Amino acid sequence: MSNEIEEAAVALIVNEGACLDQRDWDQWISLYTEDAEYWVPAWDDEYTVTDDPQTQMSLIYYGDRSGLEDRIFRLNTETSLASIPLPRTCHMTTNYRFDAQPNGDLKVHSAWHTYSYKLKAINQFFGHQEHLIRPTDDGLKIAGRKIIVLNDMIANVMDVYSI
């Protein structure tokens, strides 16, 4: 995998966070392929996350982009009462590592941290993530995102914009 592709993949991931921070939902959803899986596994025990979203608990799971589109529809139409008001957020990612996949995709591992402010309270989520990046005719797209939330307790609403 070339440095140019790796740099473009990092730029895509950074852009994803910026879209969430700016609440540019349409741009954010356009970064994903139609078949993109979005998964936040739950913790099975102190050191192990669940490994099958079909048979085990997940904090969030969308098998393809349509679930994300539904979530964005509810945010755009203000029909998500848990998201009113929307928090101000700041997404940060770092420590990028790359694994070329046999089919031409690129798996990008990184650490992330999101700060949010809502109703006079500051909250934060942090963890590790894997983005599956796929070359398409429209450039690089996110074909999957697996997010490991390391917070011991989740004291407030956790949604796509907060991780």
Closest Cα to residue 83, out of 39, 116, 131? 116
Per-residue pLDDT tens digits for 59-84:
999 999 999 999 999 998 888 877 88
- Residue 12: the pLDDT is 98
User: Apex CA 134: angle with CA 38 and CA 136, to 5°?
Assistant: 120
The DSSP bridge partners found for residue 136 are 139
CA 113, 108, 69, 50 dihedral sign is: negative
Residue type, 135: P
In which band, very low, low, confident or very high, does the pLDDT at 108 lie, cut at 50, 70 and 90? very high
- Residue 139: the pLDDT is 96
Residue 1: is its pLDDT beyond 70?
A: no
- pLDDT > 70 in the chain, percent: 99
Report yes or no: 135 and 104 within 8 Å, Cβ to Cβ.
yes
From residue 131, alpha-carbon distances to 41, 74, 118, 146 in Å are 14, 24, 27, 7
Residue 29: is its pLDDT beyond 80?
A: yes
In which band, very low, low, confident or very high, does the pLDDT at 156 lie, cut at 50, 70 and 90? confident
- pLDDT > 90 in the chain, percent: 85
- Residue 78: the pLDDT is 84
Closest Cα to residue 63, out of 32, 99, 22? 32
Q: What is the DSSP letter of 117?
A: E
Count of structural domains, the chain: 1
Residue 43: is its pLDDT beyond 80?
A: yes
Residue 105: is its pLDDT beyond 80?
A: yes
- The domain in which residue 75 lies consists of 3-162
Query: CATH no. for residue 89?
Result: 3.10.450.50
Please give the structure tokens belonging to residue 161: 């914009």
